[in-house]
Every structure is written in structure tokens, then in C-alpha cells.
Structure 1
Amino acid sequence: MTDWLIGLMESLGAVGAGLAIALENLFPPLPSEVILPLAGFTASKGNMDLLDVLVCTTLGSVVGALALYWVGALLGRERTLAIASKLPLVKITDIEKTEAFFQRHGRKTVFFGRMIPIFRSLISIPAGVERMPLPIFLLLTTAGSLIWNTAFVMAGYLLGDNWHLVETYAGIGSKVVLGLVALAVVVFVVVRLTERAKGRHASRR
């Protein structure tokens, strides 16, 4: 992956870094924790302009997020509810609670979500489903992405040949987030199965 990213940046410069970040939004296995520090390191070598890297990567983040926003918008609330109704252990009330939460805290969720591994890409979809006003979505996405991108690009720029250390420590954070998500899923499944078992027991009385 690193070789591919280096080749992309050598061919297209800062635009290549921006393209990689746009793809990262659509394909999370492409980690921004690798792309951004590598772009910063490349800029430190004088092969790319630092400001161009920050502008292009942030633009790439917005373009990728906008694509997922429209996926959510095309999916829509009714299709989301229809899909949820067919999922095991999921209740329509779960979607309604999530919807209510997003209506209350959607702006903060989109802004801070851009700085959380995994969620930074996925958060655009519920924003589209709920049809968050596009100017607000673009503003919050740009601001959150700029902070995230600047932190990682500058880390790579300042660390130079040791830019890969950013990936190492950021990877720990990603694993923590994945662990919390897995734990939340396990708790959700256990609670729902317990509720279902109690319901069956009560119906037999």
C-alpha cells in the first residue's frame, strides 16, 4: 500500500494525496493514518508543497464524505426503516431513537465524527438519510477534516523518516475504537436475546 501511495503522489503530487483520501472515505481499509503522515513526510522532502497537501487532502475528505452523504440521501428514511425491519434483533424503535439523537446532536456528531477512526467515513450516511442541510454538512465536514488532516500531515512532516510512528500509535487508537464497537455489539445482542427469552417465558404463563 505504501508503494502504491508513493507512486500516486509521485505521479500526481498533492492531488494524488487528495485522491487517496477521497478513496479512503469510500474504502475504509485505506487508512488515512498512513496516507496523511506519508503525504506530510513527502512534503518535508520538498517533493510537494505543504499547503497544497493540506488543501488537497481536505478537499478529498469532503468529496468522499459528500459521496456517502448522497448514498444516505438516496437510501432515505423509508428504505432505512424497511431494511432495519428485516434485520434480526433490530427494532424500528432503535432506528427512531438513533434518528432522534441525530436530530438533537447531528451537527456535533458530524464535526467530531470526522476525527474518530471508522466513524469518520460512516457518519456521512446518516447525515444524508436525515437530509442535514448541505451547506451545514459541508461546513462541519470541512472543519473536522481540516483538523484531522492537519494533525496527521504535520506529524509526518515533523517526524520525517520516522513518519511511520504515527501509523503505529494511531493504529492503537483504531483498535480501541474497534474493540468498543465489538463490545457494544455483544452487549446489544445479549440484551436483545435476554428480552426475547423473557418475552417467550411470559407468553407461556
Structure 2
Amino acid sequence: MQEWITNTMTSLGYVGIGLLMFLENLFPPIPSELIMPLAGFTIAQKQMAFFPAILAGVIGTMLGALPWYYVGKLVGEENLKRLADKYGRWISISSRDIEKADNWFDRHGEKAVFFCRLVPGVRTLISLPAGMSGMHLVPFLIYSTVGTTLWVGLLTYTGYILGEKYELVDEYLGPVSKIVFVGLVVAFVVWIVRKRQKAKRKNL
């Protein structure tokens, strides 16, 4: 993976950064925690400029976020409700739960999009609920771009400071992505278990 990322960036320059960050949003196993710090190291070697590298990373990320956003739009809240009513009983999810989640996103969606863009493990996933909830494209793009710019800028600057040790960023942040993802799965399982226990108590 690292060799492929390095070769892509070396051969394609800024276009390579944009392409890699685009693919990172479509296929999360490709780590931005390695791409942008490598760009920062390349900047330290005077082979790239700081702001064009960040711009390429942001553009690639935003282009990669749009497919998931439109998948969410395509699925939509109503279809999700129908699926929940039809199959959701197996995991204790109903159309009412979907509606509650959608109402929450209507109130806090802009903040959620912004802050999730700064969180490893969920930054690529937030586009899906944004699309499902019917969040308008312009606010989605604005808050995503601001959060993404901060994230990409931080990773690039860290790689610039670390120099040849830029891989330490991925070494330390990589496990964070896994922990966040596992934490979300555990929280979801706990929520399902509590819902089932509550339903059982009601039936007694």
C-alpha cells in the first residue's frame, strides 16, 4: 500500500494527491493518514508547495464524498423506513427509529458533518447519513470542505514537521480509526440489546 501511494504521488504530483484522496473516500482502507503526511514530507524536500498540495487533497476528498452522499440520497429516508419496518425487527430497528435519527440530523447535521470530517474512522462515512437525511448539497459541501481542509492541513503540516518519520502519523492514527469503528459497532450492539430488554419488560 505505502509503495503504491508513494509511486502514485511521485509520478502524478498534485494530481496523484487528489486521486489518492478521492479513492480514500470511496475505499476507506486507503489511509489519508499516510497520503497527506507523505505530501508534507515531499513539501519539506522542496518538491511540492504547501497550499497546492492541501488544495489537491481537499478537492480529491470532496469529489470522493459526493458518491456516498448521492447513494444516501438515492436510498432516502422513506425507503429506509420501509426496509426497517420490513426487516428491522431482526435488529430491533423500526421506521420510528429512522425518523428520530433523521430529526436529530435535521437539527445537528451541519455540526455532525463538520466534526466527523475530523474524526478518523467515520470521516468517510458521514456522507451517507447526510444524503439519507436529505441534507441540502450546499451546506453539506460547505461544512465538509471546512472540516476536510482542517484535517488535510493538519496531516500535511504534521508530515512536514516529522520529515522522514512521516509514517508515524499513520502508525499512531491508524489504530485510532479501528478503535472508533469498533466503538461505534459496540455502541450499536448495546443500543439494540437495551431496546430488546425494554421491549421485553413492556410485554411482561
For normalisation by structure 2, the TM-score amounts to 0.91
Aligned positions, number = 201
User: What is the CA-CA distance between 1:4 and the residue it aligns to?
Assistant: 0.4
Partner of 1:120: 123
When structure 1 is superposed on structure 2, of 128-137 and 143-152 the one drifting more is: 128-137
Partner of 2:81: 81
Could you report, residue by residue, the CA deviation over 1:50-91 in whole angstroms, capped at 9, with x for unpaired residues?
221100000011111122111111111222212323132212
SS class of match (2:181):
helix
Q: Take 2:187 and 2:48, find their aligned partners in 1: how far apart are those partners?
A: 42
Q: Take 1:67 and 1:30, find their aligned partners in 2: how far apart are those partners?
A: 17
Q: 2:101 aligns with which of 98, 101, 106?
A: 98
RMSD: 1.6
Q: Give me the identity figure in percent.
A: 41
Q: Take 1:18 and 1:31, find their aligned partners in 2: how far apart are those partners?
A: 13
Partner of 1:189: 192
Cα distance, 1:42–1:84 mapped onto 2, change above 3 Å: farther
Q: Take 2:141 and 2:181, find their aligned partners in 1: how far apart are those partners?
A: 27
Is 1:59 aligned to residue 56 of structure 2? no
SS class of match (1:115):
coil
Q: Take 2:69 and 2:182, find their aligned partners in 1: how far apart are those partners?
A: 26
On the 8 A contact 1:41/1:163 being kept in 2, the answer is: yes
When structure 1 is superposed on structure 2, of 140-149 and 119-128 the one drifting more is: 119-128
User: What is the CA-CA distance between 1:27 and the residue it aligns to?
Assistant: 0.8
On the 8 A contact 2:37/2:156 being kept in 1, the answer is: yes
User: What is the CA-CA distance between 1:92 and the residue it aligns to?
Assistant: 1.6
User: What is the CA-CA distance between 1:196 and the residue it aligns to?
Assistant: 4.3
User: What is the CA-CA distance between 1:48 and the residue it aligns to?
Assistant: 2.2
Q: Take 1:129 and 1:171, find their aligned partners in 2: how far apart are those partners?
A: 28
On the 8 A contact 1:72/1:128 being kept in 2, the answer is: yes
On the 8 A contact 1:68/1:124 being kept in 2, the answer is: yes
Partner of 1:49: 49
Could you report, residue by residue, the CA deviation over 1:101-124 in whole angstroms, capped at 9, with x for unpaired residues?
101101101111111122211111
User: What is the CA-CA distance between 1:198 and the residue it aligns to?
Assistant: 3.3
Partner of 2:25: 25
In structure 2, runs of 5+ residues without a counterpart are none
Counterpart AA for 2:96: T
On the 8 A contact 1:14/1:49 being kept in 2, the answer is: no
